[in-house]
Amino acid sequence: MDEIDRAIINQLQGGFPLCEHPYREAAAQFGISEDELIRRLEQMLEKKQLSRFGPLFNAERLGGGLSLCAMKIPQEAFDQVTEQVNAFPEVAHNYARDHQFNMWFVLATETSQRITSVLAEIEAETGYRVYNMPKKEEFFVGLKFEV
């Protein structure tokens, strides 16, 4: 990852232009072309330096469901289970923790009823239990990961 890649990650976490040519406008911030920005983003996704690139929607405001989930995964199965879990389009922000519950992720679904179904699908796919922890109260934390 070079300095331009780092700048792309650091800058675009704070927002993306809403205009007719957003990639072109975003690329100009870094002194590169629209095609170069798209190529770099695709490359970072391929290398798994980014897990996703796209907007974050408030699922609940759109009538969907949102929950924090955790799993206990043996270390030798962690990478395989990570791939299985991340293959679900409803999964975001999957990360490892140094704890008996060592895999944590956010589940966002089109309907609140779908949460239960996706949890069951993940359990069936991985063979491991998913602990569902729906939020009781919402707090806004302006979280940004500098690289």
At 82, is the pLDDT very low, low, confident or very high (cuts 50, 70, 90)?
A: very high
Average pLDDT over residues 39-53: 92
Residue 1 has pLDDT above 70, yes or no: yes
Domain with CATH 3.30.70.3460 in the chain: 65-133
* pLDDT given for residue 31 in this prediction: 97
Average pLDDT over residues 116-133: 97
Comparison of pLDDT for 46 and 55, the residue scoring more: 46
Residue 60 has pLDDT above 80, yes or no: no
- Report how far residue 64's alpha carbon sits from residue 70's, in angstroms, rounded to the nearest whole number: 20
Q: How many residues does the chain have?
A: 147
Q: Indicate the fold that domain 3-46 takes in CATH.
A: Arc Repressor Mutant, subunit A (1.10.10)
- Report how far residue 81's alpha carbon sits from residue 61's, in angstroms, rounded to the nearest whole number: 30
Residue 7 has pLDDT above 90, yes or no: yes
Distant-in-sequence, close-in-space partners of 9: CB < 8 Å, separation ≥ 6: 44, 50, 145, 147
**Sequential DSSP letters for 6-43:** HHHHHHHTT----SSSHHHHHHHHHT--HHHHHHHHHH
In CATH, 65-133 is 3.90.1150.10: no
**0.95 exceeded by pTM:** no
* pLDDT given for residue 143 in this prediction: 67
At 146, is the pLDDT very low, low, confident or very high (cuts 50, 70, 90)?
A: confident
Residue 94 has pLDDT above 80, yes or no: yes
